[in-house]
Structure 1
Amino acid sequence: MTVTVSSFTAPIASDAAAGSPAPGIDPGRFRQAFRRYPAGVVVVTADAGRGPIGFTATSLSSLSLDPPLVSFGIGTTTSSWPHIERARTAVVNFLGAEQRALATTFATSGIDRFAAPTRWRRLPEGEPVLDGVAGWLRLEIEQLVPAGDHRVVIARVVDARLHEGHSPLLFHDGGYRTLRAPAPPTGH
């Protein structure tokens, strides 16, 4: 399998007076805007031949049903990036509401994220998968697309396991959250 690194260049609007690219939104304001956007929490795991790696992500998105494609972002300055860049496959582990500690572990730099108390195993194909998660997707990485200080990973879903009884873990307003059961309808 060949992994394609894509490059896309588009004209950037420029500030005619200064002759420089138009400034984007202030990074703090950008972060503030996205703090208000709830996102599902996953842990992406892989092994490119140097041992298992994983990181917490909130950027997972479904792209296509035919073929089944997903995407997620990864910063190019993270410790996981060199491994994802070399990996041919990965696993997206869907976290349940009770797995805040696992999300925090895989968001923490400088630790062995796979050490106890993390419970994990390998799929028959060799990828690391976390035990007790709400479900997982096994992926074949197809493209790595440059996007500012990140890469967008586009991958084909080749297997999936979903486990019932898990409420999803969400990230919103700077913290982990869960969904509340809807209130029963009231009579008027």
Structure 2
Amino acid sequence: MTVTVSSYAAVQSTEPAAPGIAPERFKQAFRRYPAGVVVVTADAGHGPVGFTATSLTSLSLAPPLVSFGIGTSASSWPHIERAATAVVNFLGVEQEALATTFATSGIDRFAAPTRWSRLAGGEPVLDGVTGWLRLTVQHIIPAGDHRIVVARVEESWLDEGRSPLLFHDGSYHSIRPTHDQ
């Protein structure tokens, strides 16, 4: 299988690009936008890697495609760039510590107390998650200081009835169902 890295072959201007809003303002805007929390795991042949992400997006039903972003300065990036497959691990509200572990640089994220195993294809999957998607990487698209990974969903598993972990305004949250009284 060949993974393609897309390039910006669109119309190129001779004028410099506008800088856009200031980074702090950009962060402020997205702090107000709640997002689901996942851990993306992979193994490109040098041991398991993983990182916490809030950028998971469903792209297409036919074929079933998702995307996620990863910073090119992230320790997991060189491994994700070479991986043919990956796993999206959906975290439950009780897994804030796991999200924090995989968001921490400079540590062995797969060391105890992290519990994990491998799927039949060898992909690392976290134990106790609310679900997972096994992916085949299709495209990697440059996007500023990040890359957008587009992948086909090959297999899934879900633990129904658990509340997802969310990230909003700089901290983790849960969905609290409202009940009619």
Superposition TM-score, scaled by structure 2 size: 0.96
Distance 1:179 1:9 in 2: 42
The match for 1:121 among 103, 117, 125 is: 117
- Deviations, residues 91-115 of structure 1 (Å, cap 9, x unaligned): 0000000000000000000000000
SS of the residue 1:84 aligns to: helix
Residues 126-137 of structure 1: matches in 2 within 5 Å? 126-137=122-133
Instruction: Name the counterpart of 1:38.
Output: 34
SS of the residue 2:94 aligns to: coil
Instruction: Name the counterpart of 1:146.
Output: 142
- Deviations, residues 101-133 of structure 1 (Å, cap 9, x unaligned): 000000000000000110000001100000000
* Letter in structure 1 aligned against 2:145: D
* Letter in structure 1 aligned against 2:3: V
Instruction: Name the counterpart of 2:4.
Output: 4
Query: Per-residue deviation at 1:180?
Result: 1.0
With over 3 angstroms needed to count, the CA separation of the structure-2 counterparts of 1:13 and 1:33, relative to structure 1, is: farther
Asked whether the equivalents of residues 13 and 22 of structure 1 are also in contact (C-alpha less than 8 Å), the reply is no
Report how many aligned residue pairs link the two structures. Answer: 181
Distance 2:52 2:31 in 1: 16
SS of the residue 1:21 aligns to: coil
Superposed structure 1 runs of 4+ greater than 3 Å apart: 9-14
The match for 1:178 among 165, 174, 177 is: 174
Gaps of 5+ in 1: none
Distance 1:4 1:69 in 2: 15
Distance 1:45 1:3 in 2: 18
Query: In the alignment, does 2:107 pair up with 1:111?
Result: yes
Query: In the alignment, does 2:14 pair up with 1:24?
Result: no
Query: Per-residue deviation at 1:181?
Result: 1.4
Instruction: Name the counterpart of 1:83.
Output: 79
Distance 2:61 2:97 in 1: 32
Distance 1:12 1:22 in 2: 13
- Select the structure of larger CA radius of gyration: 1
Distance 2:18 2:72 in 1: 24
Gaps of 5+ in 2: none
SS of the residue 1:20 aligns to: coil
SS of the residue 1:67 aligns to: coil
Query: Per-residue deviation at 1:20?
Result: 3.3
The match for 2:60 among 54, 59, 64 is: 64
CA RMSD of aligned residues (A): 1.3
Identical-residue share of aligned pairs (%): 73
Query: Per-residue deviation at 1:48?
Result: 0.3
Asked whether the equivalents of residues 12 and 22 of structure 1 are also in contact (C-alpha less than 8 Å), the reply is no
Superposition TM-score, scaled by structure 1 size: 0.93
Distance 2:74 2:54 in 1: 15
Instruction: Name the counterpart of 1:159.
Output: 155
Instruction: Name the counterpart of 2:90.
Output: 94
